[in-house]
């Protein structure tokens, strides 16, 4: 069963009385969001499916590296009669200059995805501007701007192993798996690039984030090309990564506090991301067990167990680590074995899972969703959210109070009157222009505040609403209380049942990792490794096919790759 192809409106699907959905009070809890995993709807996977299904042609056009891997490399992409190029400029920098943060002055790789032909003049323009990154001034031919560095731990190690004719040793790699780390993928009109709205219908990159993830897939390819080139420069008889290792390495990435403001400022996008997953889960739960779909799920259980077991590793606060997840997968497999002869075994498995630790619940959800086969075009259309909404102030105070009672009743559970609830401001830092949290008692952010304190703003609004005559128009109310403009617009622009995380991001106990992980899972990242309460490292495209493999193998079962030589 799939999400209906006959219905294009997400709100219509969500309001269908025949569809049994998990309630927002469960799904939008911080801990639930913070236990999310990659699914077949994640952007990395939908990109690769699109490339394979439509037989994109991706070829390395130019490689001009010196013995240290410095130079440039160009890939040519012919996708559904559209021509693109990925141009990467490579260098080496002192190890001390490597950083996981978005800001830096220099990088070992700077690159761009562009549309159209590249002549010498355009290549010179790119070579001048791309290394500048945020200081660059580009044009509409450029779709994505990115940068990153070689892995300090793994790059030189891989070069030495290959130069000596040997493959990597799993024990030396630990639970990570990448050659290079990216630090940003800019798009959507920044620095003069083409806006997402500039892609016409049926354009191969017109789905949300597809251009960024095509750039990421090719960035990963640069890592393979670079490390093998440097090994050959050391020893002409150097070996290549073998078939097992050639797809295992992904692209490293890290994220910090910047994802929290994004999630709070884009309720429509958040609703669509969650809703698609919940609609598909509802469909899978309604399936009767057949020999085929039960076998498919058994295969995913085995795949997950092999993956977690081969990585190994202790828990990673606040989440389970590979060892615990491997044990959880065995437990899930055993439970499904006892339920598999039931009429609706997938529903029964979910009902068992929702009574377990939230990470087990969401692991089961991600595995069950592999049974959904909704067409990607349907998913792509549901992911597009209208960004422009007209404010309707032809309502009265009574209407706002009804909205709060019906949709924001959960604010009562957040203890918003306590001092800890207002512990933080969210601000834009002066030196880096990055989102930060600052203690209210220490810093007054003045004009630098990022207004994402939605729970606090609506709570404050409630007090003034109940002190105002119910028949007062909202326009008149805002004339008297202009400070409530953001909260009122949030109430009137109903973005859907899954648009609001059920938390207060200014609370002393707020854990940013939860919102970060949900977004990263939707992007298609895995191997979540928190480095503090505020940021974490992840891996993207680990196990994914190489661009040279388009059309040669299954394009959607690459996730959860067993580490070659890893313990099981």
For residue 356, the 8-state DSSP code is S
Q: In sequence order, what E strands does 191-269 have?
A: 250-255
Residue 45 C-alpha from the chain's centroid: 11
Check whether residue 401 and residue 381 sit in a common domain.
no
Q: 165 lies in a domain? A: yes
My answer on whether 483 and 350 are in the same domain is no
Indicate whether 296 belongs to any domain. Answer: yes
Does residue 526 form part of some domain? no
First to last CA, the chain: 34
**53 in the same domain as 187:** yes
Among residues 388, 408, 436, the one where a domain terminates is 388
Please report, rounded to a whole number, the percentage of residues in the chain having pLDDT higher than 90: 81
Number of domains composing the chain: 3
Q: Are 212 and 311 members of one domain?
A: no
Provide the mean pLDDT of the chain. 92
| Inter-residue contact 386 to 272 (CB < 8 Å) | no
| Over residues 433-447, mean pLDDT | 83
Distance CA 358, CA 339 (A): 20
122: in domain? yes
Mark whether 344 and 293 lie in a shared domain: yes
Judged by DSSP in three states, 253 sits in strand
* pLDDT, tens only, 27-57: 999 999 999 999 999 999 999 999 999 999 9
3-class secondary structure for 489-508?
HHHHCCCCCCCCCCCCCCCC
Q: For residue 101, what pLDDT is reported?
A: 57
Inside any domain, residue 1: yes
What was the pLDDT predicted at 447?
76
How confident is the model over 309-328, as pLDDT tens digits?
A: 998 999 999 999 999 999 99
pLDDT of res. 182 = 94
Q: Is the pLDDT of residue 97 over 90?
A: no
Of the pLDDT bands very low, low, confident and very high (cuts 50, 70, 90), residue 555 is: confident
**Are residues 466 and 360 part of one domain?**
no
Same domain, 85 and 164: yes
Q: Which residue has the tokens 């943060």?
A: 101
Check whether residue 67 and residue 173 sit in a common domain: yes
Same domain, 61 and 140: yes
- Which of 332, 360, 388 marks a domain boundary? 388
Flag whether pLDDT at 5 surpasses 60: no
11 in the same domain as 78: no
Is residue 168 in a domain? yes
User: Quick check: is 565 in a domain?
Assistant: no
Supply the range of the domain harboring residue 165. 44-257
Distance CA 247, CA 177 (A): 10
Structure tokens at 11: 């709100």
Whether 247 contacts 543, CB under 8 Å: yes
In a domain, 515, yes or no: no
Residue 1 scores a pLDDT above 50: no
Residue ranges with strand state E in 151-307: 178-186, 250-255
How is the beta sheet containing 178-186 ordered, strand by strand?
Answer: 57-65, 71-79, 82-90, 109-115, 142-150, 178-186, 250-255, 536-540, 525-530
Q: Give tens-digit pLDDT for 231-262.
A: 999 999 999 999 999 999 999 999 989 999 99
Using 50, 70 and 90 to split pLDDT, how confident is the model at 96? Answer: low
pLDDT band per the 50, 70, 90 thresholds, residue 202: confident
Q: Are residues 217 and 89 in the same domain?
A: yes
The three state secondary structure string of 111-162 is EEEEECCCCHHHHHHHHHHHHHHHHCCCCCCEEEEEEEEECCCCHHHHHHHH
- Measured CA to CA, the distance from residue 9 to residue 49 in angstroms comes to 24
**pLDDT tens sequence across 346-404:** 999 999 999 999 999 999 999 999 999 999 999 999 998 876 666 777 899 999 999 99
Q: Which of 492, 512, 546 is the last residue of a domain?
A: 492
The whole-angstrom separation of Cα 115 and Cα 251 is 23
Indicate if 136 and 17 belong to the same structural domain.
no
């Amino acid at each position: 069963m799939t999400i209906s192809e006959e219905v294009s409106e997400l709100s219509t699907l969500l309001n269908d009385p025949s569809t049994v959905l998990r309630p927002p009070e469960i799904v939008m809890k911080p801990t639930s969001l913070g236990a999310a995993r990659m699914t077949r709807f994640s952007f990395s996977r939908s990109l690769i499916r699109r490339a394979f299904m439509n037989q994109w042609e991706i070829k390395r056009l130019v490689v001009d590296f010196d013995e240290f891997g410095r130079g440039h490399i160009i890939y040519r992409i012919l996708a559904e009669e559209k021509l693109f190029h990925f141009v990467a400029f490579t260098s080496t920098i002192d190890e001390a200059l490597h950083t996981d943060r978005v800001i830096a002055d220099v990088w070992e790789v700077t690159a761009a995805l562009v549309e159209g032909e590249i002549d010498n003049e355009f290549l010179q323009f790119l070579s001048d501007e791309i290394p500048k990154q945020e200081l660059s001034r580009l044009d509409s031919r450029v779709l994505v701007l990115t940068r990153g560095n070689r892995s300090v731990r793994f790059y030189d190690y891989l070069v030495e192993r290959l130069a000596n004719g040997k493959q990597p040793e799993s024990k030396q790699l630990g639970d990570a798996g990448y050659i290079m780390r990216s630090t940003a993928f800019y798009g959507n009109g920044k620095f003069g690039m083409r806006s997402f709205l500039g892609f016409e219908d049926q354009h191969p990159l017109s789905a949300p984030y597809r251009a960024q993830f095509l750039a990421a897939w090719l960035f990963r390819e640069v890592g393979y090309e670079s490390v093998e080139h440097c090994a050959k420069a050391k020893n002409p008889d150097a070996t290549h990564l073998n078939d097992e290792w050639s797809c295992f390495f992904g692209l490293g990435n890290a994220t910090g506090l910047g994802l929290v403001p994004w999630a709070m400022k884009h309720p429509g996008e958040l609703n669509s991301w969650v809703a698609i997953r919940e609609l598909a889960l509802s469909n899978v739960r309604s399936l009767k067990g057949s020999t085929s779909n039960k076998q498919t799920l058994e295969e995913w259980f085995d795949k997950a167990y092999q993956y977690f077991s081969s990585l190994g590793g202790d828990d990673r606060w606040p989440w389970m680590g590979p060892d615990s997840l491997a044990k959880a997968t065995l437990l899930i497999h055993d439970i499904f074995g006892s339920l598999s002869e039931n009429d609706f075994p997938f529903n029964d498995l979910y009902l068992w899972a929702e009574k377990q630790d939230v990470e087990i619940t969401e692991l089961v959800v991600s595995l069950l969703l592999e049974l959904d086969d909704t067409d990607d075009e349907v998913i792509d259309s549901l992911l597009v959210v209208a960004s422009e909404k007209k404010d309707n102030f032809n309502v009265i105070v009574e209407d706002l109070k009804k909205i709060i009672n019906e949709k924001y009743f959960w604010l009562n559970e957040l203890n918003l009157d306590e001092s800890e609830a207002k512990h933080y401001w969210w601000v834009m830092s002066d030196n880096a222009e990055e989102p930060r949290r600052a203690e209210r008692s220490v810093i007054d952010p003045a004009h630098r505040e990022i207004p994402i304190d939605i729970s606090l703003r609506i709570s404050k609004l409630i007090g003034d609403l109940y002190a105002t005559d119910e028949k007062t128009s909202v326009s008149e109310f805002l004339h008297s209380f202009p400070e409530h403009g953001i909260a009122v617009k949030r109430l009137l622009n109903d973005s859907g049942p899954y648009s609001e995380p059920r938390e207060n991001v200014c609370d002393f106990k707020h854990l940013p990792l939860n919102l970060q992980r949900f977004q990263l899972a939707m992007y298609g990242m895995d191997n979540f490794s928190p480095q503090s309460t505020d940021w974490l490292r992840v891996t993207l495209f680990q196990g994914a096919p190489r661009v040279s493999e388009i059309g040669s193998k299954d394009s959607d079962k690459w996730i959860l790759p067993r580490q070659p030589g890893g313990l099981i």
